[in-house]
């Protein structure tokens, strides 16, 4: 992995902030979704983000090295010191931070955490890593879960699901995903916006499969994107942009069609459907804070939908009027988007998959009752695990007599999984994603 160049930042205070931000993830009580980069100066925010996401991305390997470097593990109350050690290892091995900063300022950050005793321990561990880096890495990499930087249970899941591809999936998960844009087709064309980017010195290329998709050569802040605040463009992975294509046969010739976007937050697919078709759309989510993000997204794009806070596995929210089409972006393990949410490696647990599969099935059964005869339901997840995808839809079809899978056979992307279609994460392309289109028999 090529080491990215970064600003060395403001020393000890920055690294202490990174350690504090990582503690909730390390102890399993929080995620990087709560990372507040405003706690540091604007010039240091990109480094804070790079440090926190990088540590989570490489966590299994960092923890194995930390265990080798320490004579005795830190106590539970010193998770912040453990985080500093992981940060130091990450900087030495994965970032082009000067070694003196990676060692001295990381060790010194213990003082900012009111634990000056840890300075000497951290300094000794990191200097040993400098001296013995090759030997120590070769030793810990004997364990596949360390070398591939995934928890053993998840690596086993990937191996069982994709015996020919599991290592490639893991390696793709360990790389940062590209920043991908969706051009608002109501306001512009992809080629026209690509020209705007080029005039601003922002390099991008068209996505292979998403007709409004552009992939940036280098990520940037959204505020730097021309016309972002005016709704010309949104940030959305290429795989997530494929839903309108699958629903087009149902919606393209039905202006004003009633559509449900279930589990809709944060609203990327909601907005994309409204950009692509003339719809009467209801966006449903069980989290009011996340639903507020859908509202913010629609406001920026000057789009309109009915927003409802409710549990999609119940029908308490439904007014009895059937929908012509449903998009169910089901809650899932996120195993296809680990590169964008690397804290999944720590926060997800083996029994979560069974629990999620049960919830997905309950939502499918409930929403099917709200679909009009002759309508279509598009089931989607950002998972690569069959229990949440093809197995889930196969079970649903077996217990639902009026359901028939109609996912197109001739799509240029993904793999046919019978039922549905699976995309695996690509290093320079799309995330891991699953789609299955299900038609309801006419009355």
For 298-338, the pLDDT digits (tens) are 999 999 999 999 999 999 999 999 999 999 999 999 999 99
Nearest to 345 by CA among 146, 188, 99: 146
b/e per residue 41-57 (b: at least 16 CB within 10 A): eeebbbbbbbbbbbbbb
Question: Which residues participate in catalysis according to the annotation?
Answer: 382
Task: With a cut of 90, say whether residue 354 has pLDDT above it.
Answer: yes
How much is the average pLDDT of 30-50?
90
b/e per residue 326-345 (b: at least 16 CB within 10 A): bbbbbbbbbbbbbbbbbbbb
Our CA dihedral for 314, 319, 259, 300, rounded to 10 degrees, sits at -90
User: pLDDT by residue (tens digit) across 131-185?
Assistant: 999 999 999 999 999 999 999 999 999 999 999 999 999 999 999 999 999 999 9
Contact yes or no for 184/232 (Cβ under 8 A): yes
Nearest to 424 by CA among 398, 396, 385: 385
How much is the average pLDDT of 274-288?
97
Task: With a cut of 90, say whether residue 7 has pLDDT above it.
Answer: no
Confidence label for 5 from pLDDT (cuts 50, 70 and 90) = very low
The angle that helices 166-173 and 152-161 make with each other, rounded to 10 degrees, is 130
Rounded distance between C-alpha atoms, residue 291 and residue 267, angstroms: 8
pTM of the model: 0.94
pLDDT over 90, % of the chain? 93
Which tokens go with 205? Answer: 């290329």
């Amino acid at each position: 992995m090529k080491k990215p160049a970064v600003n060395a930042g403001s020393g000890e205070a920055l690294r202490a902030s990174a350690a504090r931000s990582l503690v909730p993830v390390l102890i399993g009580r929080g995620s990087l979704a709560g990372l507040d980069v405003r706690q540091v100066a604007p010039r240091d925010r990109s480094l804070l983000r790079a440090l926190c996401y990088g540590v989570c991305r490489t966590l299994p390997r960092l923890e194995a090295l930390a265990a080798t470097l320490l004579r005795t593990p830190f106590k539970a109350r010193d998770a912040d010191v453990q985080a500093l050690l992981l940060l130091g290892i990450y900087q030495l091995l994965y970032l082009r931070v000067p070694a003196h900063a990676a060692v001295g300022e990381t060790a010194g950050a213990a003082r900012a955490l009111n634990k000056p005793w840890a300075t000497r321990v951290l300094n000794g561990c990191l200097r040993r890593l400098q001296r013995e880096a090759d030997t120590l890495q070769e030793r810990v990499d004997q364990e596949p879960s360390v070398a591939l930087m995934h928890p053993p249970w998840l690596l086993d899941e990937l191996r069982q699901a994709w015996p020919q591809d599991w290592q490639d999936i893991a390696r793709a998960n360990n790389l940062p995903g590209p920043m991908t844009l969706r051009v608002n087709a109501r306001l512009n064309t992809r080629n026209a916006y690509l020209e705007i980017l080029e005039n601003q010195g922002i390099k991008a290329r068209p996505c292979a499969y998403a007709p409004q998709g552009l992939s940036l050569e280098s990520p940037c802040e959204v505020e730097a994107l021309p016309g972002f605040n005016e709704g010309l463009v949104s940030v959305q992975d290429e795989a997530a942009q494929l839903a309108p294509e699958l629903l087009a046969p149902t919606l393209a010739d039905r202006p004003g069609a009633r559509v449900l976007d279930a589990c809709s937050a944060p609203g990327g697919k909601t907005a994309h459907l409204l950009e692509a078709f003339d719809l009467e759309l209801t966006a449903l989510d069980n989290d009011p804070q996340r639903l507020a993000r859908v509202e913010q997204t629609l406001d920026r794009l000057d789009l309109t939908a009915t927003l409802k806070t409710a549990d999609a596995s119940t029908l308490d929210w439904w007014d009895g009027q059937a929908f012509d089409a449903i998009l169910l972006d089901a809650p899932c393990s996120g195993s296809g988007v680990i590169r964008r949410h690397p804290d999944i490696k720590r926060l997800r647990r083996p029994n979560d998959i069974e629990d999620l599969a049960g919830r997905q099935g309950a939502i499918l059964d409930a929403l099917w009752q709200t679909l009009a005869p002759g309508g279509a339901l598009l089931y989607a997840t950002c998972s690569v695990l069959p229990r949440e995808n093809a197995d889930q839809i196969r079970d649903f079809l077996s217990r639902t007599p009026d359901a028939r899978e109609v996912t197109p056979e001739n799509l240029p992307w993904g793999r046919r999984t019978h039922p549905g279609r699976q995309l695996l994460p690509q290093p320079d392309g799309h995330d891991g994603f699953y789609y299955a289109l299900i038609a309801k028999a006419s009355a």
